[in-house]
Structure 1
């Protein structure tokens, strides 16, 4: 029971940090919706997702697999490929879920990009929440203060990393014309899966742990597909380097957070 309570507190913190990141949308100046600013925000989201895919997902997937006595690159590569294939299929299917009047090319592209961005970061939050829940489950099972301290540190690190991820959803959505409240709400909802799956993992820790490397890598593949297929091309339409600057800043920020707090 202690493990469940600690996991609820830990994943609740990570969720609250996603919410705080999404709240940045309320502090944006009243737009002149500059195309350069939109490219910068799309690039920022892409940079955050690239760094998160490597340091938050693929490297932990390899380490987790090796800790279970497996060859680290197999679940990392296999899960990654499955994530790419899954998003590729979703990409093909998504236009058919849009209402008929909204299938004009410009609107369709914007809606598809927004939907895939939300889906990818939400998907990435699922194994992160599971990792936090599993850390607290192991600490409670072994009644270890050392493991508990490690689980708390993991939750704090994940939470701080979630701040730019919440912003990475809300800011591009706002720049694409969505209201502040709706952009904030969707950014916040992307993080609610962390406490949900964190608690489920505590309740089913024995069954979940062997699958975690595959789930982490699956989320990485899905995120990178969205980055390459949607975000970077949109960030670099036309002239200028704002999209590139956004990618570099997002990557740099997320890399520093992942390495410093990991």
Structure 2
């Protein structure tokens, strides 16, 4: 029961963010958007380090000086995995008129906007899934409290992502209800990815350090490739930097103090 609640928490964050379309008349202010993107980046990087990479290294302590190897391999494979998805899946980022991925004239702009956020959410769902899989398998380096902290941290950074997808859709002429639904839909990939990761992880326990670092690498890719560039483009890029610092520190404090 606790695992199911933990898996669904990030979706709650996305849903609440998407619901902003019902109370806000205009798109998110550009400066606020930069701050939120920076905050989301800070949360994801901190979660990658404290909730995923460090536990992966601790699990491999029996390898001695090579304890870093599973984490290093997992991070690189995770980054490579997201790179391939980024090149294959047609998607369109907020404030960008040029689609990425394989060309497809049949996919609408609204669909590609949703796919862009869904692409970001894949590694987050995997991260939540793998830490709860660690709890289920009674891995001593991962606690239920730590798993919930990761889930809550991702939910916090999902809030602006939900708004960032629903508000632009509304400005494109999509109804409020459909804009909200599309924002919600972009977050559904997270619990699905989490459940699939749990099922896979619990059956292949020795791969846990690789899976933890794989999820970390995938999240790091999203931050470096998409979130930070979007937060830094144009004027007042320092707003994104401040947001990053706040997100990183808050997630670090939650993970260390409560995990």
TM range (shorter): 0.7 to 0.9
| Pair 1:76 & 2:71 matched | yes
Q: Distance in 2 between matches of 1:248 and 1:221?
A: 20
Aligned length: 236
Residue 52 of structure 1: aligned partner: 47
1:166/1:188 contact within 8 Å kept = no
- Of the three residues 148, 164, 179, the one matched with 1:172 is 164
Q: Contact (CA 8 Å) 1:13, 1:155: kept in 2 or not?
A: no
- Closer, same or farther in 2 for the Cα pair 1:250/1:173, shift >3 Å? farther
Query: How far apart are 1:162 and its partner, in Å?
Result: 3.8
1:10 lines up with 2:2 in the alignment? yes
Q: Report the aligned-residue RMSD.
A: 3.1
2:222 paired residue among 226, 229, 233: 226
Q: Say if 1:19 and 1:163, in contact at 8 Å, map to a contact too.
A: yes
Superposed, 1:118-157 pairs within 5 Å as 118-138=118-138, 152-157=144-149
1:55–1:209 CA distance, 2 compared to 1 (3 A): same
SS at match of 2:191: coil
Distance 2:151 2:101 in 1: 35
CA distance in 2, matches of 1:35, 1:166: 18
CA contact 2:35–2:243 (8 Å) conserved in 1: yes
Question: Unpaired segments of 5 or more residues in structure 1?
Answer: 1-8, 140-146
| SS in structure 2 of the partner of residue 225 of structure 1 | helix
Q: CA offset at residue 67 of structure 1?
A: 5.8
Equivalent in the alignment of 1:100:
105
Q: Deviations over 1:31-88 (max 9, x none)?
A: 4222222222222221221111111211111112226878321011111111222222
Aligned to 2:233: 237
Distance (Å, rounded) in 2 between the aligned partners of 1:13 and 1:243 = 31
More helix per residue: 1
Q: Does 1:62 align with 2:57?
A: yes
Report the TM-score, using the length of structure 1 for normalisation: 0.75
* Contact 1:44-1:247 at 8 Å conserved across structures: yes
CA distance in 2 between counterparts of 1:90 and 1:188 reads: 18
Judging changes above 3 Å, is the alpha-carbon distance between structure 1 residues 19 and 93 closer, same or farther for their aligned structure 2 residues? closer
Distance (Å, rounded) in 1 between the aligned partners of 2:191 and 2:2 = 13
What's the secondary structure of 1:63's corresponding residue?
helix
When structure 1 is superposed on structure 2, of 153-162 and 33-42 the one drifting more is 153-162
